[in-house]
Amino acid sequence: MKLIIAIVQDQDASNLVEELTEEEFRITKLASTGGFLKSGNTTLLIGVEDESVEKVLDIIEHTCKTREITTSLLTVTMPGDTYIPYPLDVKVGGATIFILDVEKYIRL
């Protein structure tokens, strides 16, 4: 048994929880902030059998991996006070994952 502690962006957390739950993994969500990832983040505790660790990592990877998105939120001021939306590539997502060995796992 392993305990996976995954710190992910808030915006990716619900997708991740949904996919893990569909695959019958059991998760608990802790409110967390800052540090590892700049914006609001969520810390998940996921208890898994040794042989399922890879599957969980795959799910975290395809739901949370750092990716570039093009946003046009930024505007550039032009003469005459016209604002022009400016395409900008920003990185979103990302995850920090710790895998710990569990000495004993009990459900009551």
Can you give the binding site for its own copies, defined by CB under 8 A?
A: 1-3, 5, 7, 17, 21, 26-37, 41, 43-45, 47, 57, 60-61, 64-66, 93-108
Give min distance, CB of 51 to its own copies, in A: 15
- Helix (H/G/I), strand (E/B), else coil: 65: coil
Per-position x/- string for 18-37, each x denoting binding to Ni ion as judged by CB under 5 A, each - no binding: -x------------------
Alpha-carbon distance 35 to 107, whole Å? 32
Which lies closer to Ni ion via its Cβ, residue 22 or residue 81? 22
Cα diameter, the chain: 69
Residue 62 C-beta-side C-alpha neighbours within 13 Å: 8
Give min distance, CB of 52 to its own copies, in A: 14
Q: Which one, of 8, 4, 34, 7, lies nearest residue 92 by Cα?
A: 8
Q: Which amino acid is at 56?
A: V
Place of tokens 């590539």: 89
Per-position x/- string for 1-20, each x denoting binding to Ni ion as judged by CB under 5 A, each - no binding: ------------------x-
Q: Which residues bind Ni ion (CB under 5 A)?
A: 19
